[in-house]
Amino acid sequence: MPTEISGYVAGTWDVDQVHSHIGFAARHMMVSKVRGKFANFDVQVVTADDNPLDSTVTVSIDTASIDTGNEQRDEDLRSDRFLDTANYPTMTFKSTGIAPAGDKYKVTGDLTIRDVTKPVTLDVEVNGFGPDPFGGTRAGFSATTEINRNDFGVSFNAPIPGGVMVSEKIQIEIEAEAVLRKE
């Protein structure tokens, strides 16, 4: 995969929350997936001047902003049984490296949930760079990964016949639209 990206623009980018999504899916009762998202987050991407592979991304997510479409479930997820948002109000990601992978990229970094930090790798697609109608410049990225929530101390579960109530594996899906800072 070439490290040259069509329309690539170097600079510091802030994610437009209105046009971005940080979501997740977990298997529930072993038969279906429950999806959710975080409503409040801050993402900064710094695209490097000389080599796109030297770019970085940092993410901070307000854990209390979790939204699965069911307030009772959301309160349970905010409790000390899961995210413990009273004691751990943010989760973070800080990239440590980028490598080409076919027509996409592998972005490795440190994910911290409940003060437990583990390395993770995101599969990232660069969706493009271009002007917006307001005189600015936008960039788009899609990313996915899967984590084991037990690795981060989010280990509450309840046994049910044939399995458990909530899967250990959590799929993470990100759609990010970023705006280039005017320096």
Model pLDDT, residue 168 = 80
Predicted confidence pLDDT, tens digits, the chain (183 residues): 346 788 899 999 999 999 999 999 887 656 668 899 999 999 999 999 889 999 999 999 999 999 999 999 899 999 998 999 999 999 999 999 999 999 899 999 999 999 999 999 999 999 999 999 989 999 999 999 999 988 998 776 665 566 555 678 889 999 999 999 987
Element (H, E) at 160: strand 159-160
Domains of the chain (ranges plus CATH)?
11-180 (2.40.128.110)
* DSSP secondary structure of 85-123: TTT--EEEEEEEEEEEETTEEEEEEEEEETTEEEEEEEE
d(CA 137, CA 156): 43
